[in-house]
Structure 1
Amino acid sequence: MSTILLVTSSPSCGSVSSTLAKELAAGLSASSGAVVVHRDVGTSPPAHLDAVLSSAIRKPADQRDAPEAAAAAGSDLLVDELLAADVIVIGTGLVNFGVYSGLKSWIDNVARAGRTFRYGAGGPEGLVGAKTAYVVVSSGGVYSQGPAAAADHASSYVETVLRFLGVQDVRLVRAEGLALGEEAAKASINAARAAIDAHVNV
């Protein structure tokens, strides 16, 4: 049975990015029969890289000491979830022009040389495989176009990481302008839901 890995990253209840990402994963699951594995890195963030974890994830498992083995266990689980997934759905708000810190930690834990990418004679090679990824990004302002577009380091960052890991089919869903008044927010969320419906009903 196929699997959808849903990664939500907002620590807030009622988050637009989390709500839309969950709706997208649920729609994909309903249309395909895939099982959804939900990893909430907003309320339960992975460990940030420290000296022990950084050392542990750079070593084969049989070369780790006891503290390194304990530190690497969580990272190994996250990598296993990513590799096992057929589809990836990631939800994040645009926070200070980037992603939530929990999502950054998730990326730091799953971007693992030798497991999700490797360096060869021709440069880096992604090992995650030919999956489809959906990135749901919410923002208070409008960043898809206009003078603020260059300040969106969230969607471009997540897409760059996914492509580096080998996921070439990356699809973006935006809900933006959420702080520009009730009508603007409602219209943007409705447009995002229409985009989700289009992805689900392909």
Structure 2
Amino acid sequence: MKLLHLDSSILGDNSASREVSAAIVTRLRQADPSLDVTYRDLAADPVPHLSGAYLAAAAGAPGSEALQQEVATSTAIMDEFLAADTVVIGAPMYNFTISTQLKAWIDRIAVRGKTFSYSENGPQGLAGGKRVIIAVARGNLYGPGAPAAPLDFQEPYLRALFGFIGISDVEFIRAEGIGFSPEHRKAALASAQETAAALKPTLPKAA
């Protein structure tokens, strides 16, 4: 079984989402010590945002050495994602949505012909069969009924994006309201850690 672990917070050791994503991976490793984990830190080693020059190089046009290296990086990112049975993502909320670092990674895995296709019947996801677990950290409360709920463009986007490429098994573990006070942050992280510790293990795919 292969697990891809991504972090996208710019806060390093002070990141709540990193703490929760690490707890998720620890739990899944405890359940399956043979788990093959690949880690990518999207803040420490950011993926470049898409450019017209990159798209031309990816389509086979001559490009600079830097562009060819970017194409190779994109290929590696796609290969990591397609090979993974489980994907764990640390996703902080920045300005009501995901970080720009995570969006840049998404732009490398949401690729026509690789993870989705179009036909006369509309779009079809090609990346099904994966489990995606997302560690969400945000300063306010955005759950159902909360005053700030309409401002949540993070979870709905991630659920829609992974659904579009064929992944319906998307779980969210939330540390919310961490900006209210140090006490609230501690309680929110403890609750998220408890949820992570109770995760069901990732089961092998049926033969």
- Fold conserved (TM > 0.5)? yes
In structure 2, the residue matched to 1:157 is 157
Q: In structure 2, what residue type is equivalent to 1:31?
A: A
Structure 2 unaligned residues grouped into runs of 5+ = 203-207
Q: Report the TM-score when normalising by structure 2.
A: 0.89
**Equivalent residues in 2 for 1:34-183, closer than 5 Å:** 34-57=35-58, 59=59, 63-67=60-64, 69-145=68-144, 146-183=146-183
- 2: CA distance between counterparts of 1:161 and 1:187? 30
1:192 aligns with 2:192: yes
> Percent identity among equivalent residues?
32
The answer to whether the Cα contact below 8 Å between 1:3 and 1:85 also exists between their aligned partners in 2 is yes
The runs of at least 4 consecutive aligned structure 1 residues that moved more than 4 Å come to: none
The offset of 1:69, in angstroms, is: 4.0
For this pair of structures, how many residues does the alignment match?
A: 197
Aligned Cα root-mean-square deviation (Å)? 1.6
Q: In structure 2, what residue type is equivalent to 1:46?
A: V
Structure 1 unaligned residues grouped into runs of 5+ = none
Q: Report the TM-score when normalising by structure 1.
A: 0.91
The offset of 1:181, in angstroms, is: 1.3
- 2: CA distance between counterparts of 1:85 and 1:201? 15
Q: Pick closer, same or farther for the CA change 1:159–1:73 going to 2, 3 Å.
A: same
The offset of 1:87, in angstroms, is: 0.2
The offset of 1:38, in angstroms, is: 0.6
- 1: CA distance between counterparts of 2:199 and 2:47? 29
Cα distance per residue 1:64-100 (max 9 Å; x no partner):
4344644321111111000000001111111011111
SS of the residue 1:24 aligns to: helix
The answer to whether the Cα contact below 8 Å between 1:52 and 1:71 also exists between their aligned partners in 2 is no
SS of the residue 1:30 aligns to: helix
Q: In structure 2, what residue type is equivalent to 1:35?
A: D
The offset of 1:197, in angstroms, is: 1.5
